[in-house]
Amino acid sequence: MRRVDFEDRTVIPFAISQGSPYGLSGRHLKKAARGGRWRRGVCFMGVPSDSEVRRFLASQGF
């Protein structure tokens, strides 16, 4: 993260989990990274379906 230049990039952190919460992971990643437009992330419980991912991306304006 520290070596990648995220300037002029949109970053949407996400994770998949079988029970661990997303917590403050997005904040920690943003702090460690250089630049970028950071959006609110999400933690999908289990493996998300294509439609779940599409709905999430649509809610983010993509």
38-52 pLDDT per residue, tens: 888 888 988 999 999
Q: What is the DSSP letter of 39?
A: P
Residues 6+ apart with CB under 8 A from 34: 2, 4, 5, 6, 7
Query: Averaged over 27-56, what is the pLDDT?
Result: 88
pTM (whole model) above 0.85: no
pLDDT at 13 (0 to 100) = 87
pLDDT at 23 (0 to 100) = 76
pLDDT at 51 (0 to 100) = 96
Where helices occur in 1-62 by DSSP H, the ranges are 25-32, 50-59
Q: Binning pLDDT at 50, 70 and 90, where does residue 58 land?
A: very high
